């Protein structure tokens, strides 16, 4: 039976309570640093920050409804090869799932990292977060966002909505974390439950010496949240399918693409050191462009845009965790996340694969099974 400890909230401020929890972890000799979103200069967007001095945790705000980037890639940098020291990382569920995928691809390791997951109530797009702040103190804004009870649907704040990815995310609770801060269903003025979800988490939690805590309705809140979000997701997929079913539709859908490749830089599971689209493979010769133009009478000059997105779908849709960073990063507001989640829903379903669910499930395309998809390949036998 997993332990649930009680993290007392003082002064109606759950952020400070979580800072305290992290401080407690950092004071534990076995942990050398904490990766956590921090408001630098006391304001603006919280950025993932590796904190080693407990005093500097005062800027940490893991509850801010901001999601400037997916930390999985950062954590991969912190855990590749020889690490030496153990760290803790405070992550959103989608960041944990992306990191699990990266570990499967040998891009990081879970050996020397303690994952602290927080129930995720969603976040705004980067541009919307600024609108949401509206000049307020970011901590105040965070507290205002969450209100008194974790997990109840938040009213429209400052005229902006949560990002589309978060609204359609069916994974608000963290999986594969060592410790979980159970925001959902908690009375944020009173106390937060901290759950140990692994042996390692259990040991750490026991060392913190927190009192035990009983059931507070988290499961029910999460269930309700998942229901709303799943409905939202299904509607989104249906709408996207309707407008991307043909190559012409897809071309129109992606017509604003300028080959900036921001989406794949932002994508946590796009792990190539250098994308093939940035290599000599796509350094076409002038005569080739002329040839293509002549063949059809014209050639849209950011070329290979559809090819690029299709390639990314082929490579990454199986591992797509739906974090929405691609849309967040797009300068031209192409709904990339919607497209990828739509495609991923199909590919992942085909293999019964849920990215980030378990380290023991190898990526389907890395496994060869002679007899699968007989209906597709039987004509070749």
Partner 1 sequence: MRKQYGALVVGAGIGGIRAALDLAVTGHKVALIDRRPSHGGILSQLDHQFPTDHCGMCRMLPLMSRDSSSQYCLRKGLFHDNIDLILSAEVGAVEGEPGKFLVSLNRSSPLVDPTKCVSCGICSTVCPVRVDSEFNAGLTKRAAIYLPVPHAIPNHYVLDLDNCQRCWKCHEACPTGAIDFKFEERKDFHILVADKDPEVRAMMEKHLGESNFPLHFTENGAEAVDLLAESDRFRLVLLGLDVDGMDPERVLTRCHELHPGLPVVILTDEARREQAEELVAQGARELLVKPLRSGRFAPWLDKLYMRIMSDTTVELEVGAIVLAGGFECYSPASDPAGGNDVWCYDHPAVLTAVEFERLLSGTGPTGGKLLRPGDGKPVRSIAWLQCVGSRDVKKNADFCSGICCMFSIKEAMLARKATGGEAETSIFYMDMRTAGKEYQRYRNHAEQDAGVRFVRSRPHSLFPDDGGGIRLEYLDDEGRLVPETFDMVVLAVGARPPKGTDRLAEMTGLTLNDWGFAQTRQYSPERTGSVGVFAAGSFGEPRDISESVIQAGAAAQAASRIIKAYDVLAGIATEPEPEYPDVSREPPRTLVAICASCPTLKQTVDIEGLAARLARVHSVCKVATVGSACTPQGWADIEAAAGEFKPNRILIGACMPYAYIPRLKELGRTIGLNPALMDVVDIYTATFGGKGEDDGKAADKEIHATLATAVARLQGADPTPPPVMVDVARSALVVGGGLGGLTAAMAIADHGYGVCLVESEEQLGGSAMRLHTQLDGSDPRKYMEELIAQVRKHPNIKVFTDSRAVLSRGIAGRFRTAIASPDGVFPLEHGVTILATGAHEAKVYESGLCVHGSVMTHLGLEEKIATGQLDAGALSGVAMIQCWRRRSEDRAYCSKVCCPEMVKNVLALKERNPDLPIHVFYRDIMMPGFLEHYYTKARKAGAVFIRYDKENPPKVAFEDGKPVITARDPILREDVVVRADILSLSSGLEPNDVEDLQEVFGVEVNADGFYREADFKWRPVDFLKQGVFACGTGLGPRRMGETVASAKAAAQRALRILNAETIARETVVATVRHSLCSLCQACVAACPYGARVVDLEHGRIKVDEILCQGCGACAAVCPNSATVLKGFHDGPMMSVIDAALEEPA
Binding piece for partner 1, criterion CB under 8 A, among 31-39, 196-204, 216-224, 275-283: 275-283
Distance (Å, whole) CA 53 – CA 27: 10
Helix (H, G, I), strand (E, B) or coil at 48: strand
CA distance 309 to 263: 10
- From 32, 260, 39, select the one nearest 129 (Cα to Cα): 39
Binding residue count for partner 1, defined by CB under 8 A = 23
Give the C-alpha separation, 204 to 24, whole Å: 10
Q: What's the closest the beta carbon of residue 267 comes to partner 1, in angstroms?
A: 12
Burial class of residue 373 (count of CB atoms within 10 Å of its CB; 0-12, 13-18, 19+): exposed
Q: Which of 111, 280, 371, 375 binds partner 1 (CB under 8 A)?
A: 280
- On whether the CB atoms of residues 118 and 181 are closer than 8 A, the answer is yes
User: Which is nearer to partner 1, 137 or 289 (by Cβ)?
Assistant: 289
User: Is residue 380 close enough to count as binding partner 1 by CB under 8 A?
Assistant: no
Q: Which of 8, 12, 206, 288 binds partner 1 (CB under 8 A)?
A: 288
> For residue 30, which of 178, 174, 207, 195 has the smallest C-alpha distance?
207
Residue from 42, 217, 291, 331 that binds partner 1 (CB under 8 A)?
291
What minimum distance in Å lies between the beta carbon of 289 and partner 1? Answer: 11
Q: Are 128 and 74 in contact (CB under 8 A)?
A: no
Angle at 90 between CA 315 and CA 202, to 5 degrees: 110
271 contacts partner 1 (rule: CB under 8 A): yes
102/330 with CB nearer partner 1: 102
Question: Taking CB under 8 A as the criterion, which residues in 5-24 touch partner 1?
Answer: none
Residue 273 in contact with partner 1, rule: CB under 8 A: yes
Tell the smallest beta-carbon distance from residue 246 to partner 1 (Å): 19
Q: Are strands 87-91 and 113-118 parallel, antiparallel or unpaired?
A: parallel
Sheet holding 191-196, edge to edge: 4-8, 191-196, 179-181, 113-118, 87-91, 33-39, 46-51
Instruction: Choose, by CB under 8 A, the member of 27, 294, 350, 377 that binds partner 1.
Output: 294
- Provide, rounded to whole angstroms, the least separation between the CB of residue 165 and partner 1: 23
Total residues belonging to the chain? 381
- Tell me: does residue 379 bind partner 1 (CB under 8 A): no
Residues 101-160 that bind partner 1 (CB under 8 A): 105-107
CA 16 to chain centre: 23
3-class DSSP state of 118: strand
Min CB(143)–partner 1 separation in Å: 41
Q: Determine the angle formed by the axes of helices 336-350 and 218-244, rounding to 10 degrees.
A: 100
Q: Is 369 in the site for partner 1 (CB under 8 A)?
A: no
Which of 247, 272, 359, 377 is the binder for partner 1 (CB under 8 A)? 272
CA distances to 30, 91, 376 from 83, rounded to whole Å, are 13, 19, 45
Candidates 1, 199, 212, 281; binder of partner 1 (CB under 8 A) is: 281
Give the x-and-dash track for 75-94 against partner 1 (CB under 8 A). ------x-------------
- Answer for which of 2, 359, 365, 377 binds partner 1 (CB under 8 A) is 365
The residue behind tokens 């199909």 is 346
Contact 39, 61 (CB under 8 A): yes
Nearer to partner 1, 319 or 329 (CB): 319
CB of 99 to partner 1, least distance (A): 14
- From 22-30, 175-183, 273-281, 337-345, give the range in contact with partner 1 by CB under 8 A: 273-281
Q: Which residues form the interface with partner 1 (CB under 8 A)?
A: 81, 105-107, 271-276, 279-281, 283, 287-288, 291, 294-295, 315, 365-366, 381
């Amino acid at each position: 039976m997993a332990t649930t400890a009680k993290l007392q909230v003082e002064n109606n401020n759950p952020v400070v309570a979580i800072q305290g929890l992290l401080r407690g972890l950092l004071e534990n000799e076995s942990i050398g640093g904490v990766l956590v979103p921090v408001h630098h200069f006391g304001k603006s967007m919280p950025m993932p920050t590796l904190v080693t001095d407990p005093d500097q945790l005062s800027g940490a705000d893991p509850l801010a409804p901001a999601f400037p980037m997916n930390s999985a890639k950062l954590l991969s940098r912190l855990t590749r090869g020889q690490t030496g020291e153990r760290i803790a990382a405070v992550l959103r569920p989608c960041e944990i799932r992306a990191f699990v995928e990266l570990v499967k691809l040998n891009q990081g390791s879970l050996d020397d990292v303690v994952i602290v997951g927080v129930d995720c109530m969603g976040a705004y797009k980067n541009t919307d977060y600024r609108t949401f702040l509206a000049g307020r103190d970011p901590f105040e804004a965070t507290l205002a966002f969450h209100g008194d009870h974790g997990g109840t649907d938040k009213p429209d704040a400052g005229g902006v909505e949560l990002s589309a990815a978060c609204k359609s995310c069916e994974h608000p609770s963290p999986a594969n974390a060592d410790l979980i801060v159970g925001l959902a269903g908690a009375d944020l003025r009173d106390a937060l439950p901290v759950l140990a979800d692994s042996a390692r988490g259990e040991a750490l939690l026991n060392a913190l010496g927190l009192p035990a805590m009983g059931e507070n309705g988290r499961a029910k809140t999460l269930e309700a949240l998942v229901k709303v979000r799943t409905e939202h997701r299904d509607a989104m997929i249906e709408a996207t399918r309707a407008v991307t079913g043909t190559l012409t539709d897809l071309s129109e859908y992606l017509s604003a693409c300028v080959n900036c490749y921001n989406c794949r830089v932002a994508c946590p599971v796009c792990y190539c050191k250098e994308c093939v689209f940035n290599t000599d493979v796509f350094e076409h010769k002038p005569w080739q462009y002329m040839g293509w133009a002549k063949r059809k009478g014209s050639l849209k000059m950011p070329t290979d845009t559809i090819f690029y997105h299709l390639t990314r779908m082929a490579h990454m849709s199986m591992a797509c965790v739906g974090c929405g960073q691609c849309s967040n990063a797009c300068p031209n507001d192409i709904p990339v996340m919607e497209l990828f989640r739509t495609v991923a829903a199909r590919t992942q379903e085909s293999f019964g694969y849920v990215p980030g669910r378990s380290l023991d499930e190898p990526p389907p395309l890395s496994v060869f099974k002679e007899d699968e998809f007989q209906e597709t390949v039987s004509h070749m036998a």
